[in-house]
Amino acid sequence: MKPLLFIAGAEWRYWQRSRLALGAAVLLAVLLVATTVLTALRMQGEAADRAHHQAEAEAAFLSQPARHPHRMVHYGHYVFRTPAPLARFDPGLDPATGQSIFLEGHRQNTAMFAASGDSADLGALSWLSPAMVYQLFAPLLLILLGHGLIVREREAATLATLLAQGAAGRTLLAGKALALLSVVGLLLVPMTASAALGVLAGDSSLAAVALLLAYGLYLSIWGALALLVSAMLRRRSAVLAALVTLWIALTVVLPSVATSLAAIAAPMPGKLETDLSMLADLRKLGDGHNANDPAFAQLRADLLARHGVQRVEDLPVNLRGVVAQFGERKLTETLNRYASAQMAAEARQAAALAVHGWLTPLLAVAEASRAVAGTDLAHHHRFLREAEALRYAFVQGLNKVHAEKLAYSDDVRRSGDAAAEERTRVDASNWQLLERFAFAPDPAGQRIARALPQWLMLGAWCFLLVGAGLWVGNRLKP
């Protein structure tokens, strides 16, 4: 252990004398601290805003006066997706997805108003977050610090001396690796602060630790790449050029190319297109507003038979309300079928992209980071599903009130008879059936498990690079 510490210590002293190393480290530190603070503030503001909007929407719904329950079905409700606590480190899909959905009867609306749609347009890379700084720029610092590790000794002809003095190639490499690992550890400090804030805001510390682990692995991969190339090439400038080329390929070019490839490999029909065939399916179901629609003849006959009466007026329930319930159930089955197909298509496309994580660790760590932070596609889809569950619950609750608390004879006459209309208005206390909506990320264990392919990718990269390091260490030549 002692020689390792000695070698690592020597490297640290070298870095302290290098203005380049110091300058780059200071710049990266400034960038990390700035994005950490700004993103945390932004996401905290967003969380407060959306919670406020959610409370307002709920208050508006509950304060509606007495009226016909079906009017409330159309009045509808809003839900807002509150960002996960760890979104202050990795906002993930938050800016690219709509943050609110209008819920109403007979329809599933899309999530509207994504921040990316109304923000100033300043190019492809301008959504800077701490996560992105770690993914893109931290590797550059490791390259700058690590590219000279071995090749410097080789150029200065000290490598021969070191090896001749009996230092094994492996020990030398391990000592240098230890120095870079300590840099990785230091780099993770601002992230720890960000993650701690997330834990304070209510996320589990397990998720925070997993997040640190993912980035620890990612940065170690880059450190190992720097060390290996430094040990293999003869000239320092060649090492640097090779590493920078690798960085360009793995972090700038490949992720974007993979995105285009995924779009080609797993094409996705647009929502409008599926909506058209969905509309055709829906028309076959009959209009739930019209109790005389032939589509509901069977329902009416069954209902009359079950209660042993001849006329709908003699039923103990309001036929219109029963039809509304039945119609909404049938319609929602169809809507959900199309919505699941759309989500499955999105998930397929996302998986087609994620598989490129075997080629570039950036895609692996980015996906793992979003999954663990609770800002990935799976969470967005769960938000959509929970919003739909809430929609269905309050619409059917109102339809139940429609069926049970209103007389059919009043309901059919309310358009022409003011007194009947007055009797079809139900008390505002009925609106209390609305459930409170709060979106929270999945349990930490589940989030970590969802990133299993990414853990395997990062693990495989580490494993391969350590293997390569051992191999090169045995054959290290001056």
Partner 1 sequence: MRVGSPSASLGFALRREAGLLARDRSVWAWWLVVLCLSVLSVSAGLFEVHHQKAKLARLVEADRADRVAVLKAQKDWGGAAYYSFHLTYDAPSDFAFAALGRRDDTAWMHRVRMLALEGQIHERDAGNPVLALIGRFDFAFFAAFIVPLVLIVLLHDLRAAERLAGRHDLLVATAGQAAPLWRLRAGLRASGVFIAAALPMLVAAGLSGTPLRTVVVACGWLLSYVLFWTAACAALAAWQQAGEVILATLLGLWILLGIVVPAAGRMAIDRVVPIPSGADILLTQREAVNDAWDLPKAATMQPFIERHPQWAAHATVERPFEWKWYYAFQQVGDQKAQALSEAYTAGRKQRDRLAAWLAFIAPPVLLERSLQALARTDVQASLAYEARVRAFHAGLREFYYPKLFRDEPFAPAALEAMPRFKAGADRD
Q: Between residue 123 and residue 152, which ones bind partner 1 under the rule CB under 8 A? A: 123-128, 136-137, 140, 144, 147-148
Shorter beta-carbon distance to partner 1: residue 204 or 391: 391
C-alpha pair distances (Å), 246 with each of 130, 134, 223 = 22, 17, 13
Binding test (CB under 8 A) with partner 1, winner from 3, 29, 44, 109: 109
Within 58-77, which residues bind partner 1 (CB under 8 A)?
Answer: 60, 65, 67, 71, 74-76
Task: Report how far residue 303's alpha carbon sits from residue 306's, in angstroms, rounded to the nearest whole number.
Answer: 5
Q: Does residue 116 interact with partner 1 by CB under 8 A?
A: yes
Within 308-367, which residues bind partner 1 (CB under 8 A)?
Answer: 346, 349-350, 353
The alpha helices in 64-168, defined as continuous H runs, are: 69-75, 115-118, 130-132, 138-146, 151-155, 158-164
Shorter beta-carbon distance to partner 1: residue 4 or 265: 265
Q: Does residue 307 interact with partner 1 by CB under 8 A?
A: no
Binding test (CB under 8 A) with partner 1, winner from 257, 355, 440, 468: 257
Pick the piece of the chain touching partner 1 (CB under 8 A) from 184-192, 207-215, 264-272, 385-393.
264-272
State in angstroms the smallest separation of the CB of 183 from partner 1: 16
Shorter beta-carbon distance to partner 1: residue 253 or 456: 253
Concatenating the DSSP letter of every residue in 5-65 gives HHHHHHHHHHHHH-HHHHHHHHHHHHHHHHHHHHHHHHHHHHHHHHHHHHHHHHHHHHT--
Query: Can you tell me which residue has the tokens 């690592």?
Result: 8
Shorter beta-carbon distance to partner 1: residue 147 or 330: 147
Query: Can you tell me which residue has the tokens 């019209």?
Result: 290
Residue 277 token pair: 């065939």
H or E element at residue 303:
helix 297-307
Within 222-251, which residues bind partner 1 (CB under 8 A)?
Answer: 235-237, 240-241, 244-245, 248
Q: Does residue 119 interact with partner 1 by CB under 8 A?
A: yes
Contact (CB, 8 A) for 230 and 151: yes
Residue 86 token pair: 């760890």
Q: Does residue 164 interact with partner 1 by CB under 8 A?
A: no
Q: Does residue 289 interact with partner 1 by CB under 8 A?
A: no
Task: Report how far residue 140's alpha carbon sits from residue 108's, in angstroms, rounded to the nearest whole number.
Answer: 45
Q: Does residue 262 interact with partner 1 by CB under 8 A?
A: yes
Q: Does residue 292 interact with partner 1 by CB under 8 A?
A: no
Sequence-distant (6+) residues with CB within 8 A of 35 are: 128, 129, 130, 132, 133
State in angstroms the smallest separation of the CB of 255 from partner 1: 5
Q: Does residue 290 interact with partner 1 by CB under 8 A?
A: no
